[in-house]
Structure 1
Amino acid sequence: MSSQKKATVVSTSVATLLLTIKLLIGVASGSVAVLASAIDSLLDMLVSVLNFFAIKKSEENPDEEYHYGKGKVQAIAAVIEGTVITISGIYIIYEAVMKLVKGGETTLLAPSFVAMLLSIVITYGLVKYLQRTAKETNSLVIKADALHYQTDLWSNGAVLMALGLVWISGYHEIDALFGLAIGLYIIYSAYAIIVEGVEILLDKALEGEIVASIGEILSKHPKITSYHWLRTRSDGTTNFVEFHMVLRPNMLLLEAHRIADEVEEKMMELDRKKRWIITPHFDPYDDEAVNDAILNGTPLMETPSAEVKI
């Protein structure tokens, strides 16, 4: 089992444990904040199961039908996860508002306090584990899961604080107010997950720093006259790079291939955690204007002639 799959199994198990603890205490105590946290743990469990199958599918090798693999499945899962988190935040806000309007007391404060304290300890350990796995694998799904449980950590802390304040002050509205704040924070945290997933699905270019480094690798090679038509994207697990490099018109194909191997190796060193698919194109002259014309559907310009020097 890969480290990514193992991480989803661990997170599913932890979410199930936390769900059981919070649900029992939340129902018994009537605490909106604890019940909200229990609902969040239920969604955590469902999302972790989804992530397991998403990672399993994304790890499948390219085939005759999917030539570039299925890496974007992780991005789809991240968008779904972010959406689920948003829905849970909306539900928590609804429950908090209802308690503020209708009123109600929070009982069993001591057991609730202990349960949330235990949840914080368990969640903290899980967050550290997921963050380490995300760093090692560079997986968007695990990264999203780590962020998700990190928001849980903060929300659990807020619930703990709310219970403590209710216990001390006797004002049960505090529980609902903290539940409202937790719901808003959960929605806010989901935004980043959704955006990153959508950007991958829309083939956003690689990070500016990496693109600049790729350009520097090409421009500094002594036998590359110039380069153009640099295009990059990622599916979450694999970086894709395409570029045209201008070489001497009379250069042997064998030498051109060797140059391509050299720059490709340097590019892959920029991020060893991901796979790379690099597609170079050899040009005897700079035909960027022609390529732009083809892309934009405008009349083709006359191609420059290349003087071949023997």
Structure 2
Amino acid sequence: MKSKKQLIFLSLAIGLLLMLVKFIAYFITHSNAILTDAAESIVNVIASSFAFYSIYLSSQPKDQNHPYGHGKVEFFSAFVEGVLIIIAGIIIFFKSIYNAFYPQEIKDLFDGSLLIGLTGLVNGLLGFYLVNRGKVLNSLTLHADGKHLLTDAVSSFGLMLGLLVMAFTGLNWLDSLISMGLALYIISNGYKLMRLSVGGLMDESDVNIVENVIKQLSINRRPAWIDVHNLRIQRYGDAIHIDCHVTLPYYFDLNKVHAEITDIDKIINENVANTELFIHTDPCVFQCCHYCNVENCPVRQEPKTKEIAWDIDNVTKNHKHFEVI
């Protein structure tokens, strides 16, 4: 968690510095497009500040009021960042329309484009680093902040090219057009970030994690694990909560059941980072016999006639496998 705080603090400090550089570029050139980029930097700083607080809060231990921890705040942080991005984009878009009818004198475009290109390079490198660290640390906040910075870098490079075109051609009316295009790009990325955060807050299933869990269970499958069903996964920040039902032979005693469940828990925790597993055990019924792999079963009613592979369709259903095949 200390690493997350350091990374987001680095993002905040660099964001403040780049915001200052962009406003200097605006005062040099009086370009509305540069003001657009500078205004988005204000959003970057606000978003990074909120992200820093969310990482601090998500690091707090579980308590009586938050038995699953505080990790969900990271989804809320990403949602707020998305909203701020969209608001900034809308304001920028309408200001661009205003300046199309009431343009300002633009000057020193070469100097302005150089400063904007420099900020784009720094944001791109930092954004790429944060996205990768966010994946490693399972942090949506770092991932979202990195994506935001990459968006800012792309818009800055696009702006730099536009400024150079204006400098060579003298077509200053492109200033408002470029600004409007950047605003639409910013709004689009804000929406994507909001969509991602809402999915997390609504416990939308992460297909990649579900498939990885099923893969690990299939690779390490044992004959006594007759089927696995009602698999559900929730994310709380970097923590992954998994619950499922496992069908075991009904004649297993409690110690044997506990041993099998402990082995499943160990397999998942060794192969899926930072998981907490809750397993409900179901006793087998005679309808399971035709796909049960237990050899020399003392209560088998019919021979095994079918092999049922575990996949996302049957493992996530709330039924034993003979009910969904």
TM range (shorter): 0.7 to 0.9
Aligned to 2:288: none
Encode CA deviations 1:210-245: one digit per residue, 9 max, x unaligned: 323434555632111223322222123111111111
Q: Provide the secondary structure at the position in 2 that maps to 1:223.
A: coil
Q: How many residues align?
A: 283
Separation of aligned partners in 1, 2:54 and 2:276: 21
Aligned to 2:64: 64
Aligned to 1:2: 2
Separation of aligned partners in 2, 1:111 and 1:213: 51
Q: Provide the secondary structure at the position in 2 that maps to 1:234.
A: strand
Aligned to 1:121: 121
Asked whether the equivalents of residues 232 and 241 of structure 1 are also in contact (C-alpha less than 8 Å), the reply is yes
Aligned to 1:247: 248
Aligned to 2:84: 84
After the TM superposition, which residues 258-277 of structure 1 pair with which residues of structure 2 at under 5 Å, given as runs?
258-272=259-273, 275-277=274-276
Aligned to 1:214: 213
**What is the identity, as a one-letter code, of the residue corresponding to 1:92?**
I
Encode CA deviations 1:49-102: one digit per residue, 9 max, x unaligned: 110010010111111111110110000000000110111111111121111122
Aligned to 1:16: 16
**What is the identity, as a one-letter code, of the residue corresponding to 1:224?**
W
Encode CA deviations 1:249-270: one digit per residue, 9 max, x unaligned: 2212122111112112222244
Q: Provide the secondary structure at the position in 2 that maps to 1:71.
A: coil
Encode CA deviations 1:267-298: one digit per residue, 9 max, x unaligned: 224432xx211111122236xxxxxxxxxxxx
Residues 109 and 217 (structure 1), Cα distance of their counterparts in 2 relative to 1, 3 Å cut: closer
Shift of 1:175: 1.3
The reply to whether residue 278 of structure 1 matches residue 277 of structure 2 is: yes
Residues 136 and 214 (structure 1), Cα distance of their counterparts in 2 relative to 1, 3 Å cut: closer
Aligned to 2:135: 135
Asked whether the equivalents of residues 75 and 237 of structure 2 are also in contact (C-alpha less than 8 Å), the reply is yes
Asked whether the equivalents of residues 218 and 226 of structure 1 are also in contact (C-alpha less than 8 Å), the reply is no
Aligned to 1:158: 158
Give the aligned CA root-mean-square deviation in angstroms: 1.7
Separation of aligned partners in 2, 1:204 and 1:30: 45
Separation of aligned partners in 2, 1:216 and 1:31: 54
Asked whether the equivalents of residues 250 and 284 of structure 2 are also in contact (C-alpha less than 8 Å), the reply is yes
Question: Sequence identity of aligned pairs in percent?
Answer: 27
Separation of aligned partners in 2, 1:215 and 1:25: 53
The reply to whether residue 257 of structure 1 matches residue 258 of structure 2 is: yes
Separation of aligned partners in 2, 1:199 and 1:236: 13
Asked whether the equivalents of residues 29 and 106 of structure 2 are also in contact (C-alpha less than 8 Å), the reply is yes
After the TM superposition, which residues 175-214 of structure 1 pair with which residues of structure 2 at under 5 Å, given as runs?
175-207=175-207, 209-214=208-213
**What is the identity, as a one-letter code, of the residue corresponding to 1:285?**
C
Separation of aligned partners in 2, 1:124 and 1:216: 35
Separation of aligned partners in 2, 1:190 and 1:77: 13
Q: Provide the secondary structure at the position in 2 that maps to 1:229.
A: strand
**What is the identity, as a one-letter code, of the residue corresponding to 2:203?**
D
Asked whether the equivalents of residues 204 and 234 of structure 1 are also in contact (C-alpha less than 8 Å), the reply is no
Separation of aligned partners in 1, 2:13 and 2:209: 37
Aligned to 2:102: 102
Separation of aligned partners in 2, 1:98 and 1:128: 34
Separation of aligned partners in 1, 2:101 and 2:43: 26
Asked whether the equivalents of residues 246 and 281 of structure 2 are also in contact (C-alpha less than 8 Å), the reply is yes
Separation of aligned partners in 2, 1:212 and 1:255: 27
Larger mean Cα displacement after TM superposition, 36-45 or 236-245: 236-245
Q: Provide the secondary structure at the position in 2 that maps to 1:96.
A: helix
Asked whether the equivalents of residues 218 and 224 of structure 1 are also in contact (C-alpha less than 8 Å), the reply is no
Separation of aligned partners in 2, 1:218 and 1:246: 13
Aligned to 2:297: none
> TM-score, normalising length from structure 2?
0.82
**What is the identity, as a one-letter code, of the residue corresponding to 2:225?**
I
> TM-score, normalising length from structure 1?
0.86
Larger mean Cα displacement after TM superposition, 4-13 or 118-127: 118-127
